[in-house]
A = this chain, B = another copy of it.
Amino acid sequence: MSSVLSERISRLQSSPVREILRAAGSGGLLSLAGGLPAEGTFPNFPGFPGGWTQYGTTEGELPLREEISKLLSGRGLDCPADRILVLNGSQQGLDLAAKLFVDRGTSVLCESPTYLAALQVFRLFGAELHGVPIGPQGPDPEALAMAVRKSSARLAYIVPTYQNPTGTVWSEAARVAMAHCADDEGIAVLEDDPYAEIGFGPTPPAPICSRIRRSSWIYLGSFSKSFVPGLRLGFLAASPDLIGHLERLKQAADLHSNRLSQALVLRDLRDPDRPSRIEGLRSEYRSRRDSFHESLKRHFPSAKWRRPEGGLFFWARLSRKLDLRDVFRSALEEGVAFLPGEHCHPGEAEPGWARLNFSHCSPDEADRALEILARMVAKAESGD
């Protein structure tokens, strides 16, 4: 077993019943083993393929995993269906990865700033988080290599494409450096890629996981941004040494993901109109981003930000001195919510940054929200 795994993995057992169900899937078995209800008792629903109302397999439906495998090939990541696991949203991948890697005191490397719900999960499991600063092209390759060595991290959690919260796309050089670090130092990589299909500019470089040769890796994907969040469906792809552990962890966590959502996502992935639907989505979000950019210029003429090439957020420095957590409450009283950037850092934060979502509000609403926010920041800066 790889030395990067958590202590609890030595106690991870597969359920004999689930193993039997899997065997039974090949047909002909008379099974008194599981606790399966009689299929004749289930009501019918539109969109549910025959038999999918029954309990399913932990790894998820094979046809869906095959479509996901094709989707990943298109992104430059070759991974067969048997190393793909369907998840109850990609957030579940963070929970499984934390269980797989993190004991109390385990060192985990991440970007600073990063996705705050990932910080929440890793902290829950007792990780010591080490942040690597993110520039316009991702981390500085030498600083990254140094941080990996100094932190003795088991795991690097990264969002290299349309990063949350900064929108950054890691350069080719930063990606290569991360992959080399992983292979050379034996650190595992958890690459979170929920916005892969929400890009407005040139195609981003291939995932970092596609460049790893020896080390362990997990790649997380989502259908919440490109399809329907309420269906709560995501997936992971993983290196051969990890996939079995991840499947058993998923089994222990919730047996399997709901099959109706799987059926609907499968239908979408096979829909010949999907590429044009995704293009429409990009075009809509590109236009919202551009409006938001204009509104920011109008209401925050002296603030600092970069226009993101994908994802759902602007990362903007709205003030050079304020801790925005103090502005948060007054803005909320005026009916405006935003995310103070201080929450997104594993450690010390430069003050005054905010994560601002541009996808949900209409352009008019967003403009009004930014106008109010600018007023609240100005008021706080003047010490009023």
Contact = CB atoms under 8 A, between A and B. Distances in A.
B230 A56 contact: yes
B254 A28 contact: no
A143 interface: no
A95 B230 contact: no
A254 B120 CA distance: 12
Contact of A258 (B261, B343, B358, B373): B261
Interface string A92-131: 1011000100001000000000001100110111100000
Contacts of A29: 332, 335-337
Interface in A227-257: 227-233, 249, 251-257
A382 interface: no
A33 B260 contact: no
A30 B225 contact: no
Interface string A354-379: 01111111000110111011000000
Given A120-B15, A332-B23, A254 B33 contact: no
A8 B88 contact: no
Given A11-B126, A337-B31, A337-B32, A37 B359 contact: yes
A347 interface: no
A15 B117 contact: yes
A164 to B, nearest CB: 7
Given A116-B15, A268-B43, A339-B16, A260 B284 contact: no
Interface residues of A, number: 107
Which of A37, A256, A312 has its CB near the most chain B CB atoms (within 10 A)?
Answer: A37
Nearest to A358: B32
Contacts of A117: 15, 17, 251-252, 255
Interface in A313-341: 313, 332, 335-340
Given A16-B116, A116-B16, A359-B36, A89 B255 contact: yes
Interface stretch (A46-54, A133-141, A174-182): A46-54
A39 B360 CA distance: 7
B335 A224 contact: no
Contacts of A285: 38
Given A43-B268, A123-B13, A224-B37, A361 B253 contact: no
Contact of A232 (B17, B257, B332): B257
A357 B34 contact: yes
B335 A30 contact: yes
B284 A41 contact: yes
A91 interface: yes
Contacts of A356: 32
Interface of A: 7-8, 11-13, 15-17, 20, 23-24, 28-43, 45-48, 52-56, 87-89, 91-92, 94-95, 99, 104, 116-117, 120-121, 123-126, 164, 224-225, 227-233, 249, 251-261, 264, 268, 277, 280-281, 284-285, 288, 312-313, 332, 335-340, 343, 355-361, 365-366, 368-370, 372-373
Given A31-B337, A43-B268, A258-B258, 14 more contacts: A15-B120, A17-B117, A32-B361, A32-B366, A33-B339, A33-B357, A35-B312, A36-B229, A37-B229, A37-B359, A38-B359, A43-B277, A45-B264, A55-B224
21 contacts: A11-B126, A15-B120, A17-B117, A20-B332, A23-B332, A30-B336, A30-B366, A30-B369, A31-B338, A31-B360, A32-B360, A34-B360, A35-B357, A36-B229, A37-B229, A41-B284, A53-B228, A88-B88, A120-B252, A231-B258, A260-B260
Ranked nearest first, the 4 interchain pairs of A and B with the lowest CB-CB distance are A230-B259, A30-B369, A232-B258, A36-B360
